[in-house]
A and B are shown apart, each in its own frame.
Chain A
């Protein structure tokens, strides 16, 4: 991965934004972008630079905001950072560009209450059907409800025999 090439491409895509870049352990480059730029940036990475491996999406509640980290990997790590407001955080989905992002986004959605607009299947991933508490990774009680519940219907008796 050529980090300079990537930064150049990003700066060309977002000429108006000041992009903050920091080197991080271990072998990582963190790039901070506004939330609206995450999806176009991902598009640049996937379509122009063939950087398609998304390792994970981390969501965290820093106290003042909800931070999303998109960890990409191609020999070296590249992480895109976006900050969302704590009330009703929402961001565009990446699942049409990178189908592998589907589970990561579902998990962030249920754990932090972030809405990923355009996600094809925003069911909860890990939490049980009868979970009515707050989003578990939120720091203190917050008014944002947890992810929408769409429990699976289980087959009833007699359905198989007829």
Chain B
């Protein structure tokens, strides 16, 4: 009985839906506030992300004629489900919900499903802007995903384990992965920017060119769920990076693990926010060129170095 209750608690409250929902809203607010201050603006009040979500849930929900109704309704829910499931395998501040050898691979697989769903959303909602946005999102996916996966494999290879919890725990005994493989850490952050479709890699939803990309025709509850998925992906992505590269909650001092974890998470969030205001948006061909000519070779070099160090 208590097993059921604790499982339900983990799924719905902590570190499941409830916790991730609050984190998604909080991270979004921090991101918008930091970006606003860097641009000389004031930024939104703390309840703005919640207000936006509630407003969207209450709005009219319609699709153009010719769009596949049930598929477009299912896609945001499927994306959200995969992100929430992936979150169960990522330790939060030292709290491990579930872990097994190889869960890193499962998590990476689950986290790449939203990208496919995003493309399908564009394709199936039939409007010109959505289709162009969808094809761009797929091109972008191939550009960043390969370096991202290679960068994330680095810590696994070096620590000899494919379980996120174990990789994180090992770093408190040895040294942070970010210090041993800084290039991999940098590539992981760049890959995360691409995965989250943040500026300067927000090409699929380039507002000035294709209105809103694949999500142009979505509105109301479906759009609210899409946005929620995106923000939860941010949360989950940052948690993953902290566990793999910044040693989870460990620092070797007698400070609460949750606090340390929170500080590290904030550091990465700040890095993402600052990066989003510094550059103009790239064109898709420029991103593809960057991905394949710069990021992928660097990631390969980093991985080979790791293998050589690890073996030798």
Mark contacts of A68-111 with chain B using CB atoms, 8 A cut-off: 1 yes-contact digit, 0 otherwise.
00000000000000000000000000000000000000000000
Q: Is the interface of A mostly helix, strand, loop or mixed?
A: loop
- Least CB distance from B285 to A in Å reads 21
Contact of A157 with B by CB under 8 A: yes
Mark contacts of B56-68 with chain A using CB atoms, 8 A cut-off: 1 yes-contact digit, 0 otherwise.
0000000011100
Contact of A151 with B by CB under 8 A: no
Contact of B123 with A by CB under 8 A: yes
Mark contacts of B64-80 with chain A using CB atoms, 8 A cut-off: 1 yes-contact digit, 0 otherwise.
11100000000000000
A20 to chain B: which residues have CB within 8 Å?
none
Contact of B8 with A by CB under 8 A: no
Q: Assess the B126–A155 pair: CB atoms within 8 A.
A: no
Q: Which of under 10, 10 to 19, 20 to 34, or 35 or more describes the interface residues of B? A: 10 to 19
Mark contacts of A141-162 with chain B using CB atoms, 8 A cut-off: 1 yes-contact digit, 0 otherwise.
0000000000000010111110
- Least CB distance from A153 to B in Å reads 15
Q: Which of under 10, 10 to 19, 20 to 34, or 35 or more describes the interface residues of A? A: under 10
- Least CB distance from B218 to A in Å reads 15
Q: Assess the A155–B66 pair: CB atoms within 8 A.
A: no
- Least CB distance from B126 to A in Å reads 4
- A contacts, CB < 8 Å to B: 155, 157-161
With A160-B127, A161-B126 already in contact, 19 other A-B pairs whose C-beta atoms are closer than 8 Å: A155-B128, A157-B64, A157-B65, A157-B66, A157-B126, A158-B65, A158-B66, A160-B126, A160-B128, A160-B129, A160-B130, A160-B132, A161-B66, A161-B123, A161-B125, A161-B127, A161-B128, A161-B130, A161-B131
